[in-house]
Homo-oligomer: A and B are copies of this chain.
């Protein structure tokens, strides 16, 4: 395994076009695009790294996996009254589908869906309290109390987040929100600004590869059935309108973020985190996707056949 990922890291270093760093959030635009990291946490407890696996980056939309899991814990199946579970066929920030479907987002992984999940988690509490709960949950998953929000990124997002504000006000106009729009947006922008490295991220996702149980701690985070269902949502909706392409090329459930991170689950086998800040046209990490495609081929981990 170590040889495989060392090879992949070496190969990635040679790729000339590393994609384009997300520019719409100023704090993300200044990240050096030449970085690459991969961490693999096996369900048997072993962990492997290559590249800068201890460099923190903004997990952005990868956080939606954790807030969905938290919301399912708090609200159970009532979560599905707030968001659907179908791929949207549209870009991550599209508002067209919201209008046609009366303010109910297609799934929890497009921006509108994750904002609705943030509202569901808050349950009348202040953003500060909701965020404390989210951070606490991510620390618990990663078994690492050092994980924190990058306040500079959060502020940067708040200032440039007109599209997300538009989505939130749009949903609120249907009476779907239980908390003030500004408070929900504050919660959302902050949980997207959690900083992690690939080692932490791979560990945090491990419960999804292991029938809901984190093998490092022995804690049952969710039931086996719920773990499967979160994995199915990651496969179907984890890469916006590039989800089909990712399933076609990689064949594993994953969730990407514009910070360049991707969390990928090989059910029964491993949780994988990759990071490289250069993005492709759809907004997914270019090297990250490439590395995962090679990894899936070399390991035979695709869920669609060896």
Q: List chain A positions with a Cβ less than 8 A from chain B.
A: 84-90, 94-100, 106-107, 162-163, 165-170, 172-173, 181, 208-209, 211, 224, 227-229, 231-233, 235-237, 241-245, 247-248, 251, 253, 267-268, 302-306
Contact = CB atoms under 8 A, between A and B. Distances in A.
B305 A87 contact: no
When A and B form their complex, which 6 residue pairs have the shortest distance between CB atoms, in order from nearest? A89-B89, A86-B244, A162-B173, A166-B169, A231-B304, A166-B170
Nearest to A100: B96
Contacts of A306: 211, 224, 267-268
Given A89-B90, A162-B172, 12 more contacts: A87-B87, A87-B244, A89-B89, A208-B305, A224-B305, A227-B304, A228-B302, A229-B248, A231-B304, A232-B247, A235-B235, A268-B306
A236 B229 contact: no
Given A95-B99, A170-B166, A244 B248 contact: no
A176 B244 CA distance: 23
A170 B163 contact: yes
A270 to B, nearest CB: 12
A82 to B, nearest CB: 15
B162 A267 contact: no
